[in-house]
């Protein structure tokens, strides 16, 4: 009996051990089936059919820092009073009209970073905001694609979309959604004079989603834009994200591989849901010099290119599904510091084109009257820094941005200064007040009443007005034509204008289109 019990005990031990081994083998096999592949060595985002997976990013929260530079004010509203202090890097994009109503459907909430903060950004949603004002957003699955080591690196497994096709010379222009409040709605745009229309602006919410800047008017405008495109089938529309007033969260969105992939997904969803043909990034500025409330980091200059790379990956994945090329562009500063700081040569491999903001080279933030956008650096005894459109274009080209992807910015507005002495017909003189003023207002308020005389600077190749202690720097048909011809002579892709609401009758726009050929 004793032997039987001992033997049975040993037999039970053997059976239990065998069962344990079998359980361990089964567990290992199940784990092997669910193990995820390692992240790519280049820390690039991976878009999968189930959503967005991201590799860890080594570019963590390394301190804070605000790059040097002065803060531009806004010239979006041509009736703004004197104030602000823009740098020569600035394109004025500005505030929405005070008559707008309604609240943002994606209300800013959750943890936010203050200016200069090095904290990690809040988690980003995978879908764009939806609103009762006609906005919709969708999150769609993507085929597996690989990202970039620096910006975007093509691979045999990457999604392939059709190439970017365009006229030999492209006429592009921004339309500010706020223009609809004054009656200049998108259906009144001269679609026959445009190749690409940039809608300004969508913005980035605190949780890093792309949302409408003005829910009350944007939804209506988007519907009218779709109708405009049906009348002009060759016209393409691009949603511009950011601008002077809404660049606060770009640094957070660009910080990590995860935040970049989530932002790209949200941006492309917003683009698709609202009928656009591409995305334009207007980060003012990754090199510093934007609003003091903007989140800034030393690594912004590098992360800017990575953010564009994530967008390119997502747009190409969408384009492969739709058999369509979706445009990726950006608006960049005209100053030499911007050209030297953001890696233009590498960025050029990712984007379809860049618009250099060659305006606001001088304005009402200066101490003296001056030219808004001189084509060439003016000769004479200027008491302040002198620069020109030509200087800016050459800086971009010298830093490796190809002429065939460069769009030269032209302004459809100028600056009017009051309290100016008559010395040198008002040029480079002190003034009491100054404001941005659109081309339509310049024609009706200054050119038509005979109170001001027209002058022309033979070196700068731009006009100005002076009379009754008023100095006006602006561009007319002749100077706009010279600038478009300059773009052709330099082999540039074309011209991008700011902003259509200043030229409602398309006088300057048609001049650009005609001069580009």
The residues that are catalytic are 284
> Which strand (E) or helix (H) includes residue 360?
none
Query: What is the spatial distance between Cα 357 and Cα 24, in angstroms, rounded to a whole number?
Result: 65
CB burial readout 323-338, b (16+ within 10 A) else e: eebbbbbbbbbbbbbb
Beta strand residue intervals within 19-75, DSSP E: 46-48, 51-53
Evaluate whether 91 touches 284 at the Cβ level (below 8 Å): yes
Bond into 285 cis (ω within 30): yes
| Tally of residues, the chain | 517
Which residue in the block uniquely carries the two structure tokens 């009758």?
505
510, HSE (Cβ side, Cα atoms, 13 Å):
8
Q: Which two tokens stand for residue 3?
A: 């032997």
Bond into 381 cis (ω within 30): no
Bond into 201 cis (ω within 30): yes
Closest C-alpha among 507, 499, 477 to residue 77:
499
Widest CA span in the chain: 127
Closest C-alpha among 144, 125, 136, 165 to residue 317:
144
Tell me the C-alpha to C-alpha distance, in Å, between residue 372 and each of 41, 135, 443, 502.
47, 37, 17, 15
196: how many CB neighbours lie within 10 A of its CB? 26
Query: What is the spatial distance between Cα 431 and Cα 416, in angstroms, rounded to a whole number?
Result: 10
Query: What is the spatial distance between Cα 105 and Cα 98, in angstroms, rounded to a whole number?
Result: 18
């Amino acid at each position: 009996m004793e032997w039987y019990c001992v033997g049975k005990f040993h037999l039970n031990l053997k059976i239990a051990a065998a069962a344990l081994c079998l359980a361990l083998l089964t567990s290992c096999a199940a784990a092997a089936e669910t193990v995820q592949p390692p992240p790519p060595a280049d820390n690039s985002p991976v878009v999968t059919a189930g959503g967005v997976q991201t590799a860890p990013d080594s570019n963590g929260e390394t301190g804070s820092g605000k790059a040097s530079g002065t803060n531009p004010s806004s010239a979006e509203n041509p009736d703004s009073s004197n104030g602000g202090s823009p740098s020569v890097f600035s394109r004025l994009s500005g505030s929405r009209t005070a008559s707008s109503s309604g609240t943002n459907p994606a209300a800013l909430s959750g943890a936010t970073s203050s200016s200069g903060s090095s904290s990690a950004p809040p988690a980003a949603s995978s879908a764009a905001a939806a609103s009762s004002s006609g906005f919709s957003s969708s999150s769609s699955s993507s085929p597996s694609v690989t990202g970039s080591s620096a910006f975007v690196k093509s691979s045999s497994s990457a999604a392939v979309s059709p190439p970017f096709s365009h006229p030999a010379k492209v006429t592009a222009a921004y339309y500010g959604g706020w223009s609809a409040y004054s009656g200049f709605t998108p259906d009144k745009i001269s679609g026959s004079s445009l190749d690409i229309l940039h809608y300004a602006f969508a913005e980035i919410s605190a949780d890093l989603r792309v949302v409408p800047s003005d829910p009350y008017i944007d939804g209506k405008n988007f519907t009218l834009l779709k109708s405009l495109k049906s009348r002009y089938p060759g016209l393409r529309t691009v949603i511009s994200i950011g601008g002077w007033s809404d660049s606060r969260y770009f640094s957070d969105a660009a910080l990590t591989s995860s935040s970049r992939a989530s932002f790209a997904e949200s941006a492309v969803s917003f683009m698709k849901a609202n009928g656009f043909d591409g995305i334009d990034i207007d980060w003012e500025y990754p090199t510093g010099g934007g609003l003091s409330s903007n989140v800034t980091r030393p690594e912004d200059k590098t992360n800017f290119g990575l953010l564009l790379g994530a967008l390119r990956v997502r747009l190409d994945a969408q384009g492969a599904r739709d058999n369509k090329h979706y445009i990726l562009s950006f608006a960049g500063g005209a100053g030499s510091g911007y050209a030297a700081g953001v890696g233009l040569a590498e960025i050029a491999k990712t984007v379809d084109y860049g618009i250099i903001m060659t305006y606001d080279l001088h304005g009402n933030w200066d101490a003296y009257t001056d030219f808004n956008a001189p084509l060439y650096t003016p000769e004479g005894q200027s008491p302040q820094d002198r620069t020109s459109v030509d200087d800016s274009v050459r800086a971009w080209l010298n830093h490796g941005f190809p002429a065939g992807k460069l769009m030269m910015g032209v302004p459809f507005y100028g600056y009017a200064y009051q309290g100016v002495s008559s010395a040198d017909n008002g040029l480079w003189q002190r003034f009491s007040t100054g404001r941005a003023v659109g081309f339509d207002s310049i024609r009706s308020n200054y050119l038509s009443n005979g109170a001001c005389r027209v002058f022309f600077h033979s070196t700068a190749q731009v006009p100005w007005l002076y009379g009754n202690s008023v100095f006006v720097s602006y561009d007319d048909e002749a100077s706009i034509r010279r600038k478009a011809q300059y773009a052709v002579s330099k082999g540039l892709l074309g011209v991008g204008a700011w902003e259509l609401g200043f030229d409602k009758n398309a006088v300057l726009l048609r001049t650009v289109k005609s001069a580009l050929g």
